[in-house]
Every structure is written in C-alpha cells, then in structure tokens.
A and B are shown apart, each in its own frame.
Chain A
Amino acid sequence: GAVVSQHPSWVICKSGTSVKIECRSLDFQATTMFWYRQFPKQSLMLMATSNEGSKATYEQGVEKDKFLINHASLTLSTLTVTSAHPEDSSFYICSARLAGLYPYNEQFFGPGTRLTVL
C-alpha cells in the first residue's frame, strides 16, 4: 500500500516557540493532504485540507495564522504550529489522498507526531 511518513515522530518544545511537522507521501503523488489533531481517547478532528499549489482550507474554529500549512509539492505538506502553548499539545496526524484512484477516495495516514508544549 501507499506509504505516508511524518517527521518528527515526537517533539517537546517550550511555550512560545514554533514547531514544524512534515508529511510526505513516499511512493505516490498526493494532490490533497489532510491534517488532523487527536486528543487522548478522542476521535480524529480535521484541522485543514491542504491542496498542492493553493491555500489550505481550514475547518471552523482552527486558526489559520496559528497553524500554517504549506503544500509545496505533490509529495510534501508541512504544518507549522506558531507560538505553541500547552493547550496545543496533541497528536497530529496527516493523511494523503491518492490522486486518480476513482471511485475510491482512500486516505493513507502517516504515523503521527506527538507534540508536547511545556
């Protein structure tokens, strides 16, 4: 199956700093990538949809100036958490949709990045 990687796997940072998380599709081109946040024992909550070459679409309640998303190529999307605070601590997961796989809209998930803000 298609492989999606995330880097780093975990990060611990001080409050007020910015953290960048990378999401890569390793063996396929992804026109669309999704960023999710998951708090303990809760479901995946979509934060934003990232399309290559265009601005990301953010879900209601997600601050676009705080969570910067860049989808520079068909294999790479980055999420930058700016001025991180302890409440931003969470498990961040990206997924990528395989282009042209009609009628299936299958998403492949990365392994996730655990962010801890002190």
Chain B
Amino acid sequence: QQPVQSPQAVILREGEDAVINCSSSKALYSVHWYRQKHGEAPVFLMILLKGGEQKGHEKISASFNEKKQQSSLYLTASQLSYSGTYFCGTESPDNYGQNFVFGPGTRLSVLP
C-alpha cells in the first residue's frame, strides 16, 4: 500500500526551511528518501531504519518514528539545487529485501 506524503507541493525562497512527511498504514522496517529532478532518475538521499533513527547530511536531515509509522525529511536553509520531487520509499516486514513502495512525491520549488 502506497505511503502518504505531505505536502503535495511546496514553494520556498532560498534560505527557508521545509519539512516533508511520509506516513504509512503498515508497520515499517525502513524508509528511504530520494530526490528526483525533472527528466532524471531519482537520487538517493538517505535510509532510516526502525528504532527512532535520525540522520543528516549537510543541511538535509530526517527522522523515523516507527510507532507513528512515519518519517520526516527536514531541509534547512534551502538552496536552489534542492528543487525537485522528493519521494519516500517504504519497506515493511512483508516486502523486506524486495521492492520499495514509493509515495506519490512532494514537489519542492526553491526560488531565488
């Protein structure tokens, strides 16, 4: 079952912050975040495993709340290069080691 992402779209000014949420009705083993620019393949951002994991890279961080079955991606002081569509891919115990189920995507536009 496809996870739900919110918001569907967001427009920011350069330097502003954004939060993208991904929630599932199923218990999750892991959440994977990708960013896709128009006409290109998705680019891996990070993986979060169950257990309340949080991680970050530069000004992008994420958290995983396994009790709430949701993950959030935090974009701090956004840059123009952050523009794109962000997808979360979820892995549950019944499809572990197989495919991810991707959310519908959140379209992020960063304006100068």
Chain A residues packing against B (C-beta within 8 Å): 1, 32, 34, 41-44, 46, 49, 91, 93, 103-112, 114
Contacts and interface: CB of A to CB of B under 8 A. Distances in A.
Identify which of B42, B47, B97 gathers the most chain A CB atoms within 10 Å of its CB: B42
Contacts of B94: none
A110 B41 contact: yes
A42 B44 contact: no
Given A34-B99, A105-B91, A106-B47, A112 B104 contact: no
Contacts of A114: 39
A92 to B, nearest CB: 10
B82 interface: no
Contacts of A104: 30, 47, 49
Nearest to B34: A109
Most buried by A among B39, B40, B49, B100: B100
A34 B99 CA distance: 7
B99 A108 contact: no
Interface in B37-62: 39-44, 47, 49
